[in-house]
Amino acid sequence: MELAYHFDFSFLNDYGSYYWTGIKKTLEVALLAVLSGLVLGTLVSLLRLSGLWIFRFVGSVFVEIIRGTPLLVQLFLFYYGLPIFLGFDIGIFTAAYLTLTVNSGAYIAEIMRAGIQAVDKGQMEAARSLGMSKGLAMRQIILPQAFKNVLPALGNEFVVVVKESSILSVIGYGELTYQANAIRGATFISLEPMLVSALIYFVLIFTMSKLLGIGERRLNTSD
């Protein structure tokens, strides 16, 4: 049976630059969010491993709430709710960045906690026997090893955040999905702009996954 639908990609001549803008904005917010989420997640992981129950409780509550609520709800809370408490508009980019940072931080917290716990306990004991404080030993001995242990998982988290960033289009942040929707609205072509967007996402994710695989193999070789 002959396909009645005729694909039309002629819009790329006039609107191809929209995709480049979307790619840049997608990678920008994803990279910033993962880097900030790494800092936040490391702090939360230390809270969860603290000897004080109140710190462990705070860390656990943060992780469970963020991981137990949809990203879209978190986005709306930051974009619509936070300005109510602050008394001023925080802007689209700030809301997008904070949402992805907090969400990523909760998952990175568990990644870092596993990485820290994977370091041999004898490392801490040896450092303490040399007169180092627990905090100093954690910063100079344990955390560097933990970071190396979890680098592949952190790379995967970046890949996840790149895909999740598509949800930011609902508040008007100009990432890749938003740009595809803008092209649909301008050209009245419904399918092809999203197909191009999907292809770009695939190329980005596939490329990053391959690079992560190469990096992971090199780390294993160095070990």
Q: Dump pLDDT digits (tens) for 111-122.
A: 999 988 888 887
User: Across all residues in the chain, what is the average pLDDT?
Assistant: 89
Residue 7 included in any domain = no
Domain tally for the chain? 1
Higher pLDDT residue, 52 or 124? Answer: 52
Residue 212 included in any domain = yes
Q: Give the residue numbers spanning the domain of 215.
A: 16-222
DSSP 139: I
Residue 4 included in any domain = no
Residue 118 included in any domain = yes
Q: Region 11-40: what's the mean pLDDT?
A: 94
Residue 170 included in any domain = yes
Can you give the CATH number for the domain in which 140 is found?
1.10.3720.10
* 203 has pLDDT over 70: yes
pLDDT of residue 222: 61
Distance CA(173)–CA(81), nearest Å, equals 17
Q: Is the pTM above the cut of 0.85?
A: yes
| Distance, CA of 127 to chain centre | 33
Residue 9 included in any domain = no
Neighbour tally for 222: CB within 10 Å: 7
pLDDT in tens, 42-94: 999 999 998 889 999 999 999 999 999 999 999 999 999 999 988 889 999 99
pLDDT of residue 74: 95
Residue 2 included in any domain = no
Distance CA(146)–CA(165), nearest Å, equals 27
Nearest-10 crossing angle of helices 176-187, 192-222: 160
Highest mean pLDDT pick, 33-37, 151-155, 208-212: 33-37
Q: Region 168-173: what's the mean pLDDT?
A: 93
| Distance, CA of 117 to chain centre | 22
Residue 135 included in any domain = yes
Q: Region 165-189: what's the mean pLDDT?
A: 93
